Amino acid sequence: MTRAGTLTWFAQHETRLVWRDWVWLLSGGRRRRGYTVALGLLVFFGFMHVVVYLTLLRTPVAFPPDKPLLVALGGTLLLYWSLMLSQAMEAVTRAFYARGDLELILSSSASAERLFAVRTVAMSLSVAGMSLALAAPAINVLAWLHGARWLAAYGVVSGMAMAAVAIALMLTIALFRLIGPKQTRLVAQIVAAVMGASFVIGVQIVAILTIGTMSRIVLFQSEKILSLAPNPGSLWWLPVDAVMGNPLALTVVLGCGAILLAGAVRFCAPRFGELAVAAGSVIASRHAVSQRGPRFRPKSAGQALRGKEWALLLRDPWLMSQSLMQLLYLLPPFFLLSRSFYGQGHGAGLVVPVAIMAAGQLAGGLAWLAISGEDAPDLIASAPVSTYRVWLAKAQAVAAGIGVVFGPLVGLLAIVDPVDAGTAAIGIIIASASATAIQFWFRAQVKRSLFRRRHVSSRIATFAEALCSITWASAGALATNDFRFAIVPGVMAIAFLIGAWMLSPKRVC
């Protein structure tokens, strides 16, 4: 038996916890459901292989790689790495701030440094695992079509994950030192989200400003970018060489990742206990508010419920940032719109689907907070207010939030193209209503602090919400050309809604 408190003992403990967490994520506590979800994931994985195969079958892959291929692969790696860094920042913040068993371990005589080392390695594995789950179909198909050397990409992704976790750790510690534990939590979460989106958004904005389109692929293959990129053989392309099976490049990438991670652990582990305690004291500390007295003076039950929803959201910067972060993706269409505004393009129509999609997603999040994330369900249920009035007030709270966020966008669009603005407004209303309805049908009773894990409580609701948003966005995009074209995706979206209602645990209309 492993001696308690050793690295191996902690590793076993963590592995058990991670494994059970995964099983729960898949099964939701029901074994049969776990098998079904696992089978579904396998089928999906297989399907993705077929899709990637069909896409790559006719795509020429030069070896040794030419400049366009290097730029395309390098861009993809950068995109992946920005996502990894974002994920790593999230994981590191959780490691410091989530209490869980931390207080038990910190109050014991066991070494917190060892626990930290094990958790850091687990973070790297998790970051690498998530990225590989996305990249594996492409890697496998490339290896099948163009040789086993492409399997080296697995090693590159692992090296990149180690580097991402190391940098995330150092960045979080730096934030602790610079702005203190109180602000670090929020800032780190925002940095994580911005990092995740920055590359995609940055590339899109560059594409809009230089070639007037949002397409990353077109930008990567554009003359401008190709002329600016380093020539083949440059050290800048080392990670790309590693992906394509160059053993020396692969060793360098893996080695750099491992050295960075080991260095970060060595530097951060002795400080872990102290920082975790500091983070804990922030959680326990009181948050004073203005001495002017409350601004929250409801005159009716509906007003009380709406006001409460807005007050709770506005006062929780973390929830606010999580809810609004997806709106970062609206930045590129805004740039496109501004170009159209100054007569430098005709991309206003592109804003319509993006806005509809974003509205659907934002409404889904807000509706979850208002409906499922109700922290005092007993109080609301025991109040002399009809269920209908409660739901209506909550739906109004969501609608107002959507109005505040998307109103200005639609207004700006109306100046450029009133018809597109009308289409966007209708689409935003329908997509938001659909997402709210889905959250209402699949409502659960959970703490609003579990917002990030809301997708786990019902995968059907998550898929239905995403599918509805996508199909309504497609309908909006097609409607900008001809309203008749929107009929097919519109009917599909309604079908998804009906399907979600039929599958919902509480059929209510």
Partner 1 sequence: MANGLHGATMTQHSSLLALEIRGLSKKFDRPAVDELDLTVRAGEFFTLLGPNGAGKTTTLRMVTGLLKPDRGSIKVFGIDVSADAIGAKQIMAWLSDEPMIYERLTPLEYLYFVAGLWGVDNKTAETRARDLIAWLGLAPYAQEHCEGLSKGMRQKVALAGALVHEPRLIILDEPFTGLDAASARLVKNVLRERVAGGCSVIMTTHILEVAERMADRIGVMSAGRLVAEGTLQELQRQAGAGHASLEDTFLALVSADTARSSIAA
**Is the peptide bond prior to 377 cis by the omega test (within 30 degrees of 0)?**
no
Q: Which is nearer to partner 1, 76 or 321 (CB)?
A: 321
Q: Tell me, what amino acid is at 442? A: F
Q: How far is the CB of 375 from partner 1 (least distance, A)?
A: 6
Query: What number of other Cβ atoms are within 10 A of residue 217's Cβ?
Result: 11
Q: Dump the DSSP string for 196-212.
A: HHHHHHHHHHHHHHHHS
State how far the Cα of 343 lies from the Cα of 171, in Å rounded to an integer. Answer: 42
Q: Supply the DSSP symbol for 101.
A: T
Q: How far is the CB of 30 from partner 1 (least distance, A)?
A: 16
Of these, 385, 400, 412, 492, which contacts partner 1 (CB under 8 A)?
385
State how far the Cα of 332 lies from the Cα of 89, in Å rounded to an integer. Answer: 24
Q: How far is the CB of 176 from partner 1 (least distance, A)?
A: 21
Q: How far is the CB of 488 from partner 1 (least distance, A)?
A: 43
Q: Which is nearer to partner 1, 6 or 281 (CB)?
A: 281
| Residues 294-333, mask of contacts with partner 1 (x by CB under 8 A) | x-xxxxxx-xxx-xx--xx--xx-----------------
Q: How far is the CB of 60 from partner 1 (least distance, A)?
A: 56
Q: How far is the CB of 381 from partner 1 (least distance, A)?
A: 5
Backbone angles phi, psi at 230, to 5 degrees: -65, 155
Q: Which is nearer to partner 1, 2 or 386 (CB)?
A: 386
State how far the Cα of 224 lies from the Cα of 111, in Å rounded to an integer. Answer: 54
Q: Which is nearer to partner 1, 104 or 381 (CB)?
A: 381
Q: How far is the CB of 295 from partner 1 (least distance, A)?
A: 8
Stretch that binds partner 1, among 228-236, 260-268, 338-346, 374-382 (CB under 8 A): 374-382
**Residue 29 contacts partner 1 per CB under 8 A:** no
Q: Which is nearer to partner 1, 150 or 451 (CB)?
A: 451
Q: Which is nearer to partner 1, 317 or 422 (CB)?
A: 317
Between helices 247-284 and 112-146, what is the axis angle to 10°?
140
Spatial contact of 69 and 62, defined as CB atoms under 8 Å apart:
yes
Of these, 379, 502, 507, 509, which contacts partner 1 (CB under 8 A)?
379
As a whole number of angstroms, the longest Cα–Cα distance in the chain is 74
Backbone angles phi, psi at 226, to 5 degrees: -65, -35
Spatial contact of 442 and 363, defined as CB atoms under 8 Å apart:
no
State how far the Cα of 174 lies from the Cα of 213, in Å rounded to an integer. Answer: 38
Q: How far is the CB of 449 from partner 1 (least distance, A)?
A: 8
Stretch that binds partner 1, among 47-55, 224-232, 273-281, 370-378 (CB under 8 A): 370-378
| Residues 272-291, mask of contacts with partner 1 (x by CB under 8 A) | ------------xxxxxxxx
Of these, 255, 377, 408, 505, which contacts partner 1 (CB under 8 A)?
377
Of these, 51, 133, 376, 487, which contacts partner 1 (CB under 8 A)?
376
State how far the Cα of 371 lies from the Cα of 68, in Å rounded to an integer. Answer: 49
State how far the Cα of 336 lies from the Cα of 348, in Å rounded to an integer. Answer: 7
Q: Which is nearer to partner 1, 393 or 438 (CB)?
A: 393
Spatial contact of 170 and 82, defined as CB atoms under 8 Å apart:
no
Q: How far is the CB of 87 from partner 1 (least distance, A)?
A: 27
Stretch that binds partner 1, among 69-77, 136-144, 292-300, 466-474 (CB under 8 A): 292-300
| Residues 216-255, mask of contacts with partner 1 (x by CB under 8 A) | ----------------------------------------
- Segments of 294-388 assigned E as strands: none
The tokens describing 354, both together, are: 């993006």
Which three-class secondary structure string do you get for 74-94? HHHHHHHHHHHHHHHHHHHHH
Q: Which is nearer to partner 1, 60 or 384 (CB)?
A: 384
Q: From the centroid of its chain, how far is CA 361?
A: 11
Tell me how far CA of residue 388 lies from CA of 393, 394, 442, 508, in angstroms: 9, 10, 16, 11
Residues at the interface with partner 1 (CB under 8 A): 284-291, 293-294, 296-301, 303-305, 307-308, 311-312, 315-316, 375-386
